[in-house]
Amino acid sequence: MIDLHTHTIFSDGELIPGELARRAEIIGYKAICITDHGDESTMYFILENVLRFVQKHGHFYNINILAGIELTHIPPALIGGMVEEARKAGAQVVVMHGETPVEPVSPGTNLAAIEAGVDILAHPGLITKEEVMLAAEKGVALEITTRGGHSYTNGHVAALARKYGAKLVINNDAHAPRDLVDKDLRKTIALGAGLTVEEYRQAGANAWEIVQRCMKS
C-alpha cells in the first residue's frame, strides 16, 4: 500500500509527522507522502518543517516517507506559479486539491493544475473528458480517494481514466488515524469505484513509480 496524500498538525490533521509515519508503517504501508494543505501563507513553513523531519528522522522508519504539499483553494490563475514555487521549495510531490463535490473549489482548478503538471490531482470531482485526456497526455495522476464525501465521484473518475488512458492512484487523504484504511478496505473501495483487480494493481504501480522518481531526485 502507498498513500501519497496525507495530513498532519501542520494543516488540519490530528497527528505529528512521526506518529503518522509510525501508524502507517504498522498498518503495512510501503510509502507515504505528507502533503499538508498549503497556499502562499503556509506552504514554505510546511515544507521546511516536513523536509527537516524526513531528512533527519525518515530513515529510522521501515517505510518510505516523502515531503510534499497539497496546494489548496488556490485561484486558478495562480496555480502554475505556485506549483513552480512548491518544487523550488523542495516539494517532492505536488498534489492539487481538485474540484471535489463537497467544497466550493474554484471552477478551472482541475484544468490549471493539469496544465501546470502537478503530480496528482486529488479528488477531481466531475472532471471533464477533455481534462482527463490532458492529464493522460501530461502524465498527471488522478486520485481515487477512500475519504468520505470526496469519494462520491470516484466512479466517474475511474470510468473516464479508463476510457482516455489517464493514470490513477489510490489515496486516503488521511487526516486522522482512522483514515489510514487497511488493505482489505482499500481494495473494496477501489473495486467499488469500478476498478478491475488489474486496474487496482496498476494504480499501486503508478504510485510506486512516483515514489521511485522522488527517491532518485
Q: How many domains does the chain have?
A: 1
Give me the pLDDT at residue 216, please: 79
What's the N-to-C CA distance of the chain in angstroms? 22
Local confidence band at 59 (pLDDT 50, 70, 90 cut-offs): very high
CATH code, domain carrying 84: 3.20.20.140
Q: Of 121, 8, 26, 22, which Cα lies nearest the Cα of 71? A: 121
Average of per-residue pLDDT across 149-173: 98
Is residue 217 predicted with pLDDT exceeding 80? no
pTM for the full model?
0.98
Domain extent, residue 31, equals 2-216
Give me the pLDDT at residue 215, please: 83
Give me the pLDDT at residue 39, please: 98
Over the stretch 110-134, which tens digit does the pLDDT of each residue have?
Answer: 999 999 999 999 999 999 999 999 9
